[in-house]
Amino acid sequence: MEILRTLAHQPVNSKNNMCERSKAADLRSKKSEHHTHAHQELSRIVTDYKTGRCYCRGKLLGKGGFAKCYEFSDLVTGKVYAAKIIPHTRVSKPHQRAKIDKEIELHRGLHHKHIVHFYHNFEDKDNIYILLEYCSRRSLAHILKARKVLTEPEVRYYLRQIVGGLKYLHEQEILHRDLKLGNFFITELMELKLGDFGLAAKLEPVESRRRTICGTPNYLPPEVLNKQGHGRESDVWALGCVMYTMLLGRPPFETTNLKETYRCIREAHYCLPSSLSSTAQSLISSMLAKSPQHRPQLDNILSHDFFTQGFTPERLPVSCCVSSPNFQRSPARNFFRKAAAALFGGRREKERYYHTIKLSKEEEVHRLQSDLKKITISTPAATDTASVDSVLPLARRSTPPPASADEVRDSIHMIVRGALGASSSSSSSSTEGVEDGSMASVVDSVARVLRDCLEKMAEAESIPKKKGGSTSFLWVTKWVDYSNKYGFGYQLSDHSVGVLFNNGTHMSLLPDKKTVHYSAELGSCCVLSSAEAKESFQGQVTILKYFAHYMEENLMDGGNLSKGTDVSKPSLYLLQWLKSDRALMMLFNDGTFQVNFYHDHTKIILCREGKAHLLSYINEDRVSTTVCLSALLTNGCSAHLRERLHYAYNMLMQLCI
């Protein structure tokens, strides 16, 4: 191409120049013939001769230095893949082929919700084919190209998933080394998948690290440019560049020439516009710290104020690929805005109420926020890591008597005073398996069972064989944390819906949608018809129904565990819930104990059935296994489950502090 550009600027009246132009025309003709020939070589139908499977090549999805990526369809099953195709001519040298083989070996062993799934690889005389998970919404780079910039809620949504996938990689002692928007792929359901492991490598000790400078120039960290090698902190630096780029539409160190870009990177010199929120500026600054030792760990990123003090959507609409979302019109906001209108009347009355509270409670807000300090608990040794998670305990308050309509309204406004939730709330009159039905007794009973299990359980590689038959116990299939205004809502496996309000009272709407259970103190339960309840507790019933409607319309069930129930057993009532950076814990009046882990969506449910304790585990593929605890003690379980049980126990013990 450089020759052609030169020739194009030569005088046209020279014989030599005419000869050169003729040669250039021949070169162009040969180049065109080469491309046509190459296109013909890549057949429309590709056969894996080892398996006999045939694939139909579809549209081009993208291309890189060595490979092109096409849509591939299995002609028998119709399943669609993203096929990475590398011509043998591009990897003819031994070190080039070794690089591809290393990528295949590394990617094949990765299994995580936020990692592009590796399905299969094969080759023929012309090409190497790698079949990967198909992500129909392409990549974050394509989305940003259409959108220019993203909103902070979207950035939180994507970053949570990126951190989840990256944390898994780092736990496998793998560094990605090329984090950028083009390597974050988006599925049909707007879920993010981390892909392209061409530059990924195993983590090495500092003294043994390769000094290779590799990656995308705008995202390289100072230590790599200074030939000190890649570490986990290098991926965190790239993550800071990614966050900056999503929010501002350009990388932080982008300049007109590469030399200047590298100078800015080495000095960690970049601008943070005032248009960014203070929490976004703080998080970016921490990730783009010049010294690797000063950058946050992945767990600390998710516990930063940018995440804890900002709204993160559960799901993004597909329209976000091309236009900015309007979160004010999201289903949850619509439901709860209507609920607030039903509770507080017109705008003027509501504004006057909030203004009064704000003026009279300013000092109390500050005091309560100071009291709600994060408590750190160590991850058990079974995890082989030194990470810690922050757990935010709920404020414990005495439970009030049955509330009047005015008291209900006042209690809902407890958010203005900084309250997050209540530890003591409702309970059914039956507390089978719990000594005296008190909060302390429930916690102690469950803690004792978990402690005995962890201390006496045998070592094993897997979970014991599934327990036969259906289960009749109840468990939480959906939940909504709206404690910054009203309370914590959940749906049980029998489709009853409960809300633990911020004032400590509890209300349940039974599966018949006509009966309401109301509890104002531990051990008591008032059964009302929906009409009676609405008349007596209009505000809380309104909130309860909006929670129920929202979960039914917008959330999917949390697993495939049997939903059979024993109608003779009383419904569960939530006593207390607790959230950490890693999991949600829920404790119920009969000792049922459930922990949901966010990033891989695994769940642990401990309950009683008759005289036996049952443990159910729902894995990342939403497949459940239920065993008697006695069998678990005898046969043991995998380290994966044991680590989660340790974590669940540590969360439970926070209630005793």
Q: Which residues are annotated as a binding site for ATP?
A: 84
- Annotated catalytic residue 178: yes
Q: What 8-state DSSP symbol labels residue 288?
A: T
User: How many residues are there in the chain?
Assistant: 657
Name 132's Cβ contacts closer than 8 Å, sequence gap at least 6.
Answer: 81, 82, 83, 84, 116, 117, 118, 119, 195
Q: Give CA–CA dist 475/619, Å, rounded.
A: 15
- Coil, strand, or helix at residue 73? strand
CA distance to 140, 159, 205, per residue, from 208 (Å): 34, 31, 5
Q: Give CA–CA dist 67/90, Å, rounded.
A: 8
Q: Which residues pair with 397 in a beta bridge?
A: none
Q: What 8-state DSSP symbol labels residue 139?
A: B
Reported as type and span, the H/E element at residue 18 is helix 15-41
- Residue ranges in 618-657 assigned as alpha helix (H): 629-635, 639-653
Catalytic residue among 48, 124, 126, 178: 178
Among residues 142, 146, 134, 140, the alpha carbon closest in space to that of 162 is found at 140
CA distance to 69, 382, 424, 558, 594, per residue, from 450 (Å): 49, 16, 22, 23, 12
Among residues 481, 501, 478, 482, the alpha carbon closest in space to that of 490 is found at 478
CA distance to 471, 499, 526, 560, 566, per residue, from 493 (Å): 11, 15, 22, 10, 11
Residue numbering of the annotated binding site:
84
- Asked if residue 176 lies in contact with residue 234, where contact means CB atoms within 8 angstroms, the answer is no
| Paired tokens of 495 | 């489709």
Q: Give CA–CA dist 241/248, Å, rounded.
A: 10
Among residues 616, 501, 489, 496, the alpha carbon closest in space to that of 560 is found at 616
Among residues 532, 330, 480, 502, the alpha carbon closest in space to that of 415 is found at 502
- Asked if residue 443 lies in contact with residue 655, where contact means CB atoms within 8 angstroms, the answer is yes
Active-site annotation, residues: 178
